[in-house]
Amino acid sequence: MGYSAKNYSKMKLIKLTIIILFTIILTFLTILTVYIMFNSKFGRAPKGERLEKIKQSPNFRGGSFKNISSTPFVTEGYSMASVAYDFIFTKFPRTEPSDTIPAIKNNLKNLPITENVLIWFGHSSYYIQLSGKRFLIDPVFSGNASPMPNSNKSFKGTDIYSADDIPEIDYLIITHDHYDHLDYETILKLKPKIKNIVCGLGVGEHFEYWNFDTSKIIEKEWNEEIQIADNFTLHTATARHFSGRLFSRNNTLWMSYILQVEDFKIYIGGDSGYDSHFAELGKKFNGFDLVILENGQYNKAWHEIHMLPEEVLKAAQDLKAKRIFPVHSSKFKLAFHPWDEPLINISELNKKKYHLQLTTPIIGEIVNLYDNNQVFSQWWIDVK
């Protein structure tokens, strides 16, 4: 009898523990669901007339946008399970700097509009003044590259600029709607300063949901044009990537862009894996004065959607670039490599094999767009 009573008590305790754990998990999932459903930062999936227009796009097939080439999310020979395991359990060295990232604070509002310059804010955010117009690309000033609070914080020293430092913007350019490129908190703070928004099909739904004036939203497909001024054109172009916020994937279109003033051309690459579109654009536009390409947050397991450093150099070569500005590094940890590896590798590979003109500014440093001889330091060398 004593043994049976002990067994009964033990079983009762196990059942009670299971019930408590189940209740905790259910409560967590309920809170998470409510957080997602009622949090505007996740944006909104395209619907109504916008969705009908998307369905007419030749790039939208089978319920989602497609890349030109077949693009697996995980490279053959790897698995989602192994990638997920590494994200959750594997510790990789030096993915974040222990030192403060160097940065320079310039007063952007006092920059003469006649100056043709670029200022980088880390990762893939930067400001361009060109031919009397101001452009802001993929701004993230919230200090977080994730919709979950404090889950992917920026590196020390990389947040010296805020939305308050930005002057009135003629064109906000969004390459795609991932959180490290389309940041809700930043966008809301910039709202009064934005005259026009240029984005891929479907991305405008987020802005409309966030109560932006729909007359300011310019949604485009690949291979279209926006006339900025006489002899000044913004071209849209393809990229090899994916899109989506929350649980939907590829319901909005990812983009690259070309700013062209007469014979001067800047390629804004956005996020992209290596593919034939770089050579096609290099031929179509007869080369570029500056190409801005992502170089960071890569991995061999997903290099179809994020280029490895040598692929970045090959892409620049295909684009017939006079100068290459590697971005998508030095602010957020989104991959497993050491934080400074992208800049180390691209510099060494370029010196050994490609011999292209690398543009590697410190955050906030003024890049003179028409000065091909401007010299930049390898600032990352002394940062631990």
Give me the pLDDT at residue 267, please: 99
- Give mean pLDDT, residues 26-34: 57
Helix, strand counts (H, E) of the chain: 8, 16
Q: Is residue 136 part of a domain?
A: yes
What average pLDDT does range 375-383 have in this prediction? 96
Domain that holds residue 14: 2-38
Q: Both 150 and 286 in a single domain?
A: yes
Asked if the model's pLDDT at residue 59 lies above 50, the reply is yes
Please check whether residues 30 and 115 belong to one and the same domain.
no
Confidence check: pLDDT of 68 > 50: yes
* Residue 114 in domain: yes
Predicted pLDDT at 130? 98
| pLDDT of 35 above 60 | no
What is the model's pLDDT at position 3? 54
Residue 215 resides in a domain: yes
Amino acid 371 reads D
pLDDT tens-digit series, residues 317-372 = 999 999 999 999 999 999 999 999 999 999 999 999 999 999 999 999 999 999 99
Q: Check whether residue 377 and residue 266 sit in a common domain.
A: yes
Residues 137 and 11 in one domain: no
- In this structure, the answer to whether residues 17 and 163 fall within a common structural domain is no
Position 24 scores a pLDDT of: 72
What angle is formed at CA 259 by the lines to CA 206 and CA 263, rounded to 5 degrees?
Answer: 170
Is residue 287 in some structural domain?
A: yes
Region of poorest pLDDT, from 76-85, 175-184, 305-314, 339-348: 76-85
Q: Is the pLDDT of residue 51 over 90?
A: yes
Residue 88 lies in a domain: no
Give the dihedral of Cα atoms 333, 334, 335, 337; nearest 10 deg.
Answer: -20
What value does the mean pLDDT take over residues 90-114? 97
In this structure, the answer to whether residues 30 and 160 fall within a common structural domain is no
Identify the helix (H) or strand (E) that includes residue 235.
strand 232-237
Say if residue 236 is in the same domain as residue 113: yes
Alpha-helical segments (H) within the chain:
2-37, 48-55, 80-89, 184-190, 204-209, 277-284, 309-318, 341-349
Q: Please name the residue that has the structure tokens 């160097």.
A: 102
Mean pLDDT of 127-145: 98
Residues 161 and 22 in one domain: no
The percent of residues in the chain predicted with pLDDT above 90, rounded, is 86
- Maximal CA-CA distance, the chain: 95
Regarding whether 268 and 187 lie in a shared domain, the answer is yes
Read off the pLDDT of residues 257-266 as tens digits, 9 standing for 90 and up: 999 999 899 9
Percent of the chain with pLDDT over 70: 92
Q: How confident is the model at residue 210 (pLDDT cuts 50, 70, 90)?
A: very high
Note the pLDDT tens digit of each residue in 213-256.
999 999 999 999 999 999 999 999 999 999 999 888 999 999 99
Same domain, 25 and 150: no
228 and 370 both lie in a single domain = yes
Q: pLDDT tens across 246-283, in order?
A: 888 999 999 999 999 998 999 999 999 999 999 999 99
* pLDDT of the residue at 36: 54
Residue 33 has a pLDDT of 55
Mean pLDDT lowest for which of 32-46, 116-130, 183-197? 32-46
Confidence of residue 1 (pLDDT cuts 50, 70, 90): very low
The two structure tokens encoding residue 326: 């590697």
CATH assignment of the domain containing 207? 3.60.15.10
More confident residue, 246 or 69: 69
> Is 357 part of any domain?
yes
Whole-angstrom Cα Rg for the chain? 23
**Does 62 score more than 90 pLDDT?**
yes
The mean pLDDT value for 47-75 works out to 96
What is the model's pLDDT at position 17? 73
- Looking at the fold, whether 32 and 128 belong to one and the same domain comes out as no
| Higher per-residue pLDDT: 15 or 133 | 133
Query: What's the whole-number average pLDDT of the chain?
Result: 93
Asked if residue 76 is part of any domain, the answer here is no
Band (87; pLDDT cuts 50, 70, 90):
confident
Domain assignment present for 95: no
Q: How many domains does the chain have?
A: 2
Model confidence at 122, pLDDT cuts 50, 70, 90, reads very high
Give the pLDDT mean for 99-110: 98
Task: Round to whole Å and give the CA distance between 296 and 308.
Answer: 8
Count, residues in the chain: 384
Instruction: Read off the pLDDT band of 38 (50, 70, 90).
Output: low
